[in-house]
Structure 1
Amino acid sequence: MANTLVPFGWRLGRLENVWDDMDRVMGEMFGGSQPKVDWAPHLDLSETETHYEVLLDLPGVSHDEIEIEFKEGDLWITGKREEERTDEERSWHRVERRRGTFRRVIRLGDDVEADDVEAEFTDGVLAITAPKVARAQPHRVEIKP
């Protein structure tokens, strides 16, 4: 009986699973055939006049296991968190920490300087800064006599 500790525990987290399913389906529809994805990390996305910033929570993930690509206006973040194996037998009452392959695809558009995208990984948080293309500023044109 997996749900003996939490009544109706099987219902908890269903909304999160719906978002994971939507992310997977959209990736399959628009990204061609992609490898299986086990989970999608939570993220924050913000924008200023000069750049986009994406923050992803990736505790327990090694920076060597993360790949970032910017292609056709989309920021692709993929990687994996290894499953922890133990030799001892256990009866698990909750398994909430996601493991396996993850992917997030964020549509930023074509106004990103792809060559200048930067990433930093500190204390389990991946911070990605994507600068926007500098827009030409309007200026007054003098009329010569």
Structure 2
Amino acid sequence: MSSRNNPFDELERIFERLSREFSDASRSWNIGEPNMPWKTEESMALDLVEHDDHFIVAVDLPGFEREDVEVSVTDHMLRISANREQEIEDKDTQYIRHERQHRTEERSLALPDAVDPENVTARMKNGVLTVTLPKIEDDESRTIDIE
């Protein structure tokens, strides 16, 4: 094992620090744009796990019901959108504080390998959307003749 320092270690630490500082600063921005990427990604946290023959994406969607969520997929892209309509029980209600309003969130995720869109499954339980995306087996290769 070499005792020399990797010249990129310091650069990596700088990027990590900048990323943390930008993330901290962006939380205080109140731009009011529901489709701004930094706001969407912050509120629609997800995990992407790779297995041998499939991916699993788990997405936190608290406050959304199954009917509020739409999932679409192409061979390399997963798109999740969620839309909750504002529920007004009584128009004469005098709110002291009213924060639970119409909410729309959207997130797209590029997948590292092609998936089979026809066999993707999704389920929602306790505010967590779990999407299973089977990989396409790409055993077919061909030799290209060079002219």
**What is the TM-score when the length of structure 1 is the normalising length?**
0.59
For residues 71-121 of structure 1, the C-alpha deviation after alignment (integer angstroms, 9 at most, x for no partner) is: 2521111121233436532333x94x6841111101015521111111011
Paired letter, 1:106: L
Using a 3 Å threshold, how does the CA distance of structure 1 residues 15 and 55 change in structure 2: closer, same or farther?
farther
Alignment RMSD: 3.5
**In the alignment, is residue 91 of structure 1 matched against residue 96 of structure 2?**
yes
The question of 1:116 aligning with 2:101 is answered: no
Instruction: Give the C-alpha shift of residue 132 in structure 1.
Output: 0.9
Distance verdict in 2 for CA 1:22–1:122, change over 3 Å: closer
Relative to structure 1, the CA distance from residue 51 to residue 16 in structure 2 (aligned partners, 3 Å threshold; closer, same or farther) is: farther
* Structure 2 stretches lacking a partner, 5+ long: 1-24, 141-147
Query: Which SS does the other structure have where 2:56 is aligned?
Result: strand
SS in 2 for 1:85: coil
Measure how far apart 1:123 and its partner are: 1.6
CA 1:64 to 1:112, structure 2 compared with 1: closer, same or farther past 3 Å?
same
Counterpart residue identity of residue 105, structure 2 = F
Superposed, 1:7-46 pairs within 5 Å as 13-14=27-28, 21-22=36-37, 40-46=43-49
Cα distance change of structure 1 residues 59 and 49 upon mapping to structure 2, 3 Å threshold: same
Q: Residues 16 and 110 (structure 1 numbering): CA distance in 2 closer, same or farther, change over 3 Å? A: farther
What is the TM-score of this pair, normalised by structure 2? Answer: 0.58
1:136 paired residue number: 139
In structure 1, list runs of 5 or more residues that go unmatched: 1-10, 25-36, 138-145
How many residues were matched structurally?
Answer: 111
- Kept after mapping to 2: 8 A contact 1:23/1:104: no
Aligned to 1:31: none
Identity of aligned residues (%): 28
How far apart, CA to CA, are the structure 2 residues paired with 1:42 and 1:113? Answer: 24
CA contact (8 A) 1:40 1:103 kept: no
Partner deviation per Cα, 1:58-80 (whole Å, 9 max, x = no partner): 22212112111112521111121
